[in-house]
Structure 1
Amino acid sequence: MKLHPIEAGNFKLDGGAMFGVVPKTIWNKTNPADQNNLIDIAARCLLIEDGNRLTLIDTGMGSKQSEKFFGYYSLWGDHSLEKSLKKAGFHRDDITDVFMTHLHFDHCGGSVNWNKNKTGYEVAFKNAKFWTNENHWKWATQPNAREKASFLHENLFPMQESGQLHFINRPESDFGFSSELGFDILFADGHTEKQMLPHINYNGKTIVFCADLLATAGHIPIPYVMGYDTRPLLTLDEKAKFMNAAADHNYYLFLEHDAHNEIITVERTEKGVRLKEVFKCEDILK
C-alpha cells in the first residue's frame, strides 16, 4: 500500500465561523486572519494505492461553479486535483473508488464536472465507484435550511444518475471495518449526519483522515467547535472521545483543511489533549 496526499486547492473561510464561540483574540494566534477576517483553508485529499485499487478520499470544490460562487471563498495558490493526481503518477480515469467523507461542496465538488459543451454534468471519474452512506445521502438530498447551501444538486445527482453511486454498509456501532473499502470508518453526527472518517493502517501507523471533525491544528481544544456544525453539543462529545483515543493510540491525524499543518499527533496534558508533533506528508506517507 502507498498513500499520496492530493492537494485539490486552497481557499479562505471566515475565522469566526470556523471557530464558533471562541474569541478571535484566541484563534487568531494559531490561524491568523487577513484584513477581511478570513483564514487559510486547504482541500487536502488522500489517495490510497493498494494493488490494482486506487481510492481517492474526498475531491475538493472542483472547478465547475461560477466566478461569483468562487468569489465567496477567495481561492488562492496553484494546487488542483488534476495536477496533484498527475504529480502522484495517475490520471482521474485510473481512480477505481471515490470515498466522500460527506457531501458538503468543498468535499465532493470535484466528483462532478461539466460535460464537454457545458450543457450538463458528468462524473469526473468515469471508472470509479462513488461511496457515501444511505443516511447521509438522504440528509444531503433532502437538506435542512441550515445546510442547504452546502449540498449542491449538481454535485450529487449526477453520481446517482451515472449508476456509479454506492452506499457503505454501516456497522451497528459508530466505528467498524468497511469490507467494501478495506479500512475502518468512524461515523460522526455532530458536523452533519453520518460524516465518515477513515482510519487507515499504514506501515504500523494509524492514519486518520479527519475531515471536519478536526478542521485544523488550531481546533484541537475540545470546545473549539466550528459554527458550521449542525449539532455542536454532540460534536463536543464525539470530539472528546476521538481526541483522547488519538492521544492514547498515537494516531497520525491527516488534516484536510489545515493549509499549513499537514499531519499531526496529539498528547494528553494537564490542560487536556494538545498538539504533540507536526509532520509533512512526505515524512509519514513514504
Structure 2
Amino acid sequence: MTLYPIEAGNFKLDGGAMFGVVPKSLWNRTNPADSNNMIDIAARCLLIEDGDKLILIDTGMGDKQSEKFFSYYYMWGDDSIDKSLKKHGFHRDDITDVFMTHLHFDHCGGSIQWNKDRTGYEPAFKNALFWSNEDHWEWATKPNDREKASFLKENIIPMQQSGKLHFVTRNEGEKFSEIQELGFGALFVDGHTDKQMIPHINYKGKKLVFMADLLPTAGHIPLPYVMGYDTRPLLTLDEKQQFLETAVQEDYYLFMEHDAHNQILTLKNTEKGVRLDKSFTFDEIFN
C-alpha cells in the first residue's frame, strides 16, 4: 500500500461559522481571518494505491458550479485534483473507487462533472465506483432545511444514475466498521452530519486517520471549538472528546482535510485537556 496526499484546491470560509460560539478574539490566534472575516481552508484528499485498487477519499468542490457560487468561497492557489494526481504519476481515469466521508459539496463536488456539451452531468472518474453509506445517502437526498444548501442534487443524484453507487456494509448501531471492500476501517459519527465516515488506515506501522469534518483544523482541537455548521453540536462534543482521548492513547496521526497549513497532526494530554503535540508534512512522516 502507498498513500499520497491530493490537493484539490483551497478556499475560504467565514471564521465565525467555522468556530460557532467561540469568540473571534480566541480563534483568530490560530486561524487568522482576513478583512472579510474569512479563514484559509484546504480540500486535501487522500489517494490509496493498494494492489489493483486506486482509492480516492473525498474529491473537493469540483469546478462545475457557477462563478457566483465560487465567489462566496474566495478560491485561492492553483492546486487541483488533476495537477496533484499527475504529480504522483496518475490520471483521474486510473481511479477505481471514490470514497466519500459525507456528501457536503466541498467533499463530493469533484465526483461529478458536466458532460461534454454541458447538457447534463457525468462521473468525473469514469472507471470508479462511488462509496457512501445508506443512512447518510438517505439523509443527504432528503435534506433538512439547515443542510439543504450543502447537499447539492447535481453532486449527488448523478452518482446513483450512473449505476456506480455502492454502500458500505455496517452492522446497525456499530460505531466502527471494517470496510472489507476497500481495506480500511471507518468511524461513524453523527454530530456534524448523520453518519459521516472517518477512515482509519494502517500504514507503515502507524494509524493514519482522515479527519474530514470531525476535526477541521488544528485550531479546533479544544473541545468547545465546534463548527456552527454542525447539526448536533453537543453530540460533536461527545464524539470529539472520545476520539481525541483515543487518538492520544493510540498515537494516531491525523490527516487534516481542511487545515490549509497543517497536513498531519499528533496530539498530547495537557492540564487543559488534549492539545496539539506536533505538526508534520506528509513527507516528513511517511517518506
Scaled by the length of structure 1, the TM-score of the pair is 0.99
Aligned to 2:117: 117
* Residue of structure 2 in register with 1:181 after alignment: 182
Cα distance in 1 between the residues matched to 2:63 and 2:120: 14
Q: 1:33 deviation in Å?
A: 0.2
Q: What is the aligned partner in structure 1 of residue 77 from structure 2?
A: 77
* TM-superposition CA deviations, 1:82-139 (whole Å, max 9, x none): 1111111101110000000000000000000000111110000111110000000000
Distance in 1 between residues matched to 2:243 and 2:274, nearest whole Å:
10
Specify every segment of 5 or more residues in structure 1 that has no aligned partner in the other structure, as ranges.
none
Residues 4, 285 of structure 1: 8 Å contact kept: no
Q: Deviations over 1:53-102 (max 9, x none)?
A: 10000000000000000000000000001111111110111000000000
Matches within 5 A, 1:99-118: 99-118=99-118
Partner SS for 1:149 = coil
Kindly provide the amino acid, as one letter, of the partner of residue 256 in structure 1.
E
2:266 aligned residue: 265
In the alignment, the residues of structure 2 paired with residue 38 and residue 185 of structure 1 have an alpha-carbon distance, to the nearest angstrom, of: 31
- Give the alignment of 1:192-207 within 5 angstroms: 192-207=193-208
Provide the residue aligned with 2:36 in structure 1: 36
Q: How many residue pairs end up in the alignment?
A: 286
Distance 2:217 2:171 in 1: 28
Indicate if the aligned counterparts of 1:190 and 1:233 stay in contact, CA closer than 8 A.
Answer: yes
Compute the displacement of 1:285 (Å). Answer: 3.1
Aligned mates of 2:91, 2:224 — CA distance in 1: 41
Residue of structure 2 equivalent to 1:228 = 229
Question: How far apart are the structure 1 equivalents of 2:71 and 2:25?
Answer: 27
After superposition, give the CA deviation of every residue in 1:136-189 in whole Å (9 maximum; x if it has no partner): 000000000000000001000111000000001013410121111111100000
Runs of 4+ in 1 over 4 A off after TM superposition: none
- The SS at the match of 2:244 is helix
Q: Distance in 2 between matches of 1:88 and 1:47?
A: 10
Residue correspondence of structure 1 range 1-286 to structure 2 within 5 A? 1-172=1-172, 173-286=174-287
Secondary structure of the equivalent of 1:48?
Answer: strand
TM-score by length of 2: 0.99
| Aligned equivalents of 1:115, 1:27: Cα separation in 2 | 42
- Give the unaligned 5+ runs of structure 2: none
> Do the aligned partners of 1:129 and 1:165 also contact (CA within 8 Å) in 2?
yes
Q: Indicate conservation of the 8 Å contact 1:9/1:79, yes or no.
A: yes
Three-state SS of the structure 2 residue aligned to 1:200 is strand
